[in-house]
Structure formats: structure tokens, C-alpha cells
């Protein structure tokens, strides 16, 4: 139903008017050559003007319908209203043109006068059918545009979420103190962070699983400075085929596990790579989990890059699964 509420831009209306008028011109030309009695300039002028008039009525009716009628009606009536209005655009557009030509007494109106009512109905029905085709056409165009926008937005969001700045500030805070306590450890953590940041600023959207897992290890090493080595990472890679993943996808699930699962005691995080990728932990279980910004962003990136889907498996321990498409 949502396609009915499409807004037709002024540019689209200009194209529709030009195409509609040309359509009327050629149809009238067709009739002009079809029979001797139509071989009059008024046939072509009337046909062209009628088509132009129909597009004007369509523009008027669709604008009124979209701006004033549809927003106040239940969606189940939208199609009926649109059908009625497209029919009326054709019928009234034709009648308007016919009335003008009738008043100025042109030869064509004299010929079609006995059939004017049938013709009005037929033109209305034709306009409805053409409107239906145009509707499909414009809705396809809008769908394409919205997909493009979604990709762009997801890319932007992905960039925004690739590196959680809070993680960075917390890590830097801990490192600043570690310098006073254990200089060797502080040096290692600074080098880890620099390695992590180097990967973060890489422009590739997809990276291979080995690289992602390496980044996860570095990430957990950095987090362990803060959490006193209470985060234990267990990685099992059973897959021998290389999987390409959006950058930071497993890292985000590990970050999520620490953020929501850590209870100031040992937190085991298990990553199993087989045909799919599972990330689970034995920490605090979140009830009624909802995909927040980070998880939704990851799911979008997985879908947009045609890698797979993110699933949450409602069991203990907390488990997320990246369902990979090409296994």
C-alpha cells in the first residue's frame, strides 16, 4: 500500500505532461489517417489538447489526493480512492477539452458528439490503466532511490560505529595510569592500540576472517588492561574456506558481550567459526534483547554486502550467530 503515497516531483510531472501530450498527438494522427472524415486539423489539435488536459487533471487530482485526502483516510481505502481519481482525471480531462471544442464548434466535436459519453468513459478507463503503469514505473524509481539512500546511510552509520570512541577514551585512561605502574605493559598496550587503529582506518569494507579474528584478539588485549585480564577469549576456527566479513563485525559482537555481559568476574567469550560464525559468552544474560544501533548496523552491513544475516539465539549462554550466505 505504501507505494500509493508516492509524491510525484515537478520534474516527473513535466515528463508525464510532455509524454502524455505527444501520446495524444500521435493517437489523433492515427485517427486522422484512418478515415477521411477525420482528416481535419481539429482532430489533431483536439487529440493533443485532450491529452494535455488529462495530464493537467491528473496532476491536480493526485496532488489533492496525496496532500489532503489520503493522509486523512485509513490505508485500506487508498487504492480505491486512487482508482476513482485516476478514472476521473481521464474522464473530466476529456470532457473539459471536449466542452471547449464543442463551444467553438469544431468539425471533430460534430463527428464524435453522439458517442461523447462512451468516449468519456473509455478515456477514463484508459487513463486509469496508464496511471497504473506509471504508478508501477514511479514506485520502482522510488524504490531504487530508497535502496541507494539506505546503502549510503548504512555506510555512514557503519563508519560512525566502526570505532566506539568510549572504548578509545577508556583505553587511553587506563594506559595513562599503566605508565606509572608497568612501563613494559603500557608500551605493549599502546602498540596494540596503534595496531587496532591502523586496521580501523583501512578503507576496505570487507576483510577476511583471519584478519578480523586477529583484530578481535588485539581488541580483547586492550580491554584486558581495563578489566584486569578477566576477559578470556576462546577461538575455534573449523572452517578452512576463507570468509569475507564486514570489518569489525565479530569485534562488535565481542564488544557487546563485554559491555552487557561483564560482571566484574571472569568472562569467557567463545568464537566458533564453522559454516556460520557464533559468538557467545557466559556473562550476564540480557532478557528481551533488542537490536540497538550497533547490532542493527551490523545486520544492515551484512545484508547490504550480501554476506549474511545476524541472528540472536535466545538461549543460555548469550549467543549471536552470523549466518553466512555462501557456505
Partner 1 sequence: MKILIVDDEKLASSRVARILNELGITDITISNDSLEASEYIVKNKYDIIFLDIQMPNMTGLELANKILELEPKTFIIFQTAYDQYAIEAFQSGGIDYILKPTTNENINNALQKVKKFLKQHQMRFQKR
Interface contacts to partner 1, rule CB under 8 A? 165-167, 169-170, 172-174, 176-178, 180-181, 225-228, 259, 262-264, 284
CB 65, CB 81: distance < 8 Å: yes
DSSP H helical ranges for 201-272: 209-226, 249-261
Here the cell at position 220 is 580483547
Supply the minimum distance, in Å, between the C-beta of residue 284 and partner 1: 7
Supply the minimum distance, in Å, between the C-beta of residue 226 and partner 1: 5
Of 251, 257, 276, give the one whose Cα is nearest residue 319. 257
Supply the minimum distance, in Å, between the C-beta of residue 223 and partner 1: 10
The span from the CA of 297 to the CA of 306, in Å, is 14
H or E element that contains 237: strand 231-237
Q: What is the dihedral of CA 101, 105, 109, 113, to 10 degrees?
A: 120
Whose Cβ is closer to partner 1: residue 182's or residue 274's? 182
The span from the CA of 37 to the CA of 35, in Å, is 6
Q: CA 199, 204, 205, 210 torsion: positive or negative?
A: negative
Whose Cβ is closer to partner 1: residue 267's or residue 307's? 267
Give the number of other CB atoms < 10 A from CB of residue 180: 8
CB 11, CB 49: distance < 8 Å: no
Supply the minimum distance, in Å, between the C-beta of residue 195 and partner 1: 20
Here the cell at position 126 is 484508459
Whose Cβ is closer to partner 1: residue 71's or residue 180's? 180
Contacts of 281 (CB under 8 A, 6+ apart): 257, 261, 267, 268, 269, 270, 317, 318
Supply the minimum distance, in Å, between the C-beta of residue 235 and partner 1: 24
Whose Cβ is closer to partner 1: residue 242's or residue 264's? 264
Whose Cβ is closer to partner 1: residue 107's or residue 294's? 294
Whose Cβ is closer to partner 1: residue 100's or residue 168's? 168
Supply the minimum distance, in Å, between the C-beta of residue 171 and partner 1: 9
Supply the minimum distance, in Å, between the C-beta of residue 261 and partner 1: 9
Supply the minimum distance, in Å, between the C-beta of residue 86 and partner 1: 50
Whose Cβ is closer to partner 1: residue 123's or residue 178's? 178
The span from the CA of 250 to the CA of 244, in Å, is 12
Whose Cβ is closer to partner 1: residue 232's or residue 303's? 232
Amino acid at each position: 500500500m505504501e507505494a500509493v503515497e508516492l509524491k510525484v516531483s515537478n520534474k516527473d510531472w513535466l515528463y508525464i505532461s510532455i509524454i502524455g501530450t505527444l501520446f495524444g498527438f500521435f493517437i489523433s494522427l492515427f485517427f486522422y489517417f484512418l478515415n477521411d472524415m477525420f482528416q481535419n486539423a481539429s482532430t489533431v489539435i483536439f487529440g493533443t489538447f485532450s491529452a494535455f488536459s488529462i495530464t493537467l487533471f491528473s496532476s491536480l487530482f493526485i496532488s489533492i489526493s496525496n496532500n489532503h485526502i489520503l493522509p486523512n483516510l485509513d490505508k485500506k481505502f487508498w487504492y480505491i480512492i486512487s482508482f476513482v481519481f485516476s478514472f476521473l482525471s481521464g474522464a473530466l480531462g476529456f470532457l473539459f477539452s471536449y466542452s471547449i471544442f464543442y463551444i467553438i464548434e469544431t468539425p471533430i466535436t460534430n463527428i464524435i458528439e453522439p458517442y461523447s459519453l462512451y468516449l468519456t468513459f473509455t478515456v477514463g478507463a484508459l487513463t486509469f490503466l496508464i496511471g497504473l503503469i506509471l504508478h508501477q514505473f514511479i514506485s520502482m524509481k522510488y524504490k531504487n532511490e530508497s535502496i541507494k539512500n539506505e546503502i549510503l546511510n548504512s555506510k555512514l552509520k557503519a563508519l560512525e560505529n566502526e570505532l566506539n570512541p568510549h572504548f578509545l577514551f577508556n583505553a587511553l585512561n587506563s594506559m595513562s595510569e599503566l605508565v606509572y605502574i608497568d612501563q613494559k605493559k603500557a608500551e605493549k598496550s599502546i602498540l596494540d592500540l596503534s595496531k587496532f587503529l591502523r586496521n580501523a582506518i583501512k578503507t576496505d569494507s570487507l576483510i577476511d576472517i583471519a584478519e578480523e579474528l586477529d583484530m578481535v584478539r588485539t581488541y580483547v588485549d586492550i580491554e584486558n588492561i581495563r578489566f584486569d585480564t578477566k576477559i578470556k577469549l576462546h577461538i575455534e576456527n573449523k572452517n578452512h574456506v576463507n570468509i569475507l566479513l564486514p570489518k569489525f563485525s565479530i569485534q562488535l559482537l565481542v564488544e557487546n558481550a563485554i559491555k552487557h555481559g561483564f560482571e566484574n568476574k571472569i568472562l569467557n567469550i567463545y568464537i566458533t567459526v564453522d559454516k556460520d560464525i557464533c559468538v557467545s559468552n557466559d556473562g550476564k544474560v540480557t532478557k528481551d534483547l533488542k537490536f540497538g544501533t550497533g547490532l542493527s548496523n551490523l545486520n544492515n552491513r551484512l545484508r547490504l554486502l550480501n554476506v549474511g544475516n545476524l541472528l540472536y539465539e535466545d538461549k543460555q549462554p548469550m549467543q549471536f550467530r552470523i549466518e553466512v550466505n555462501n557456505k
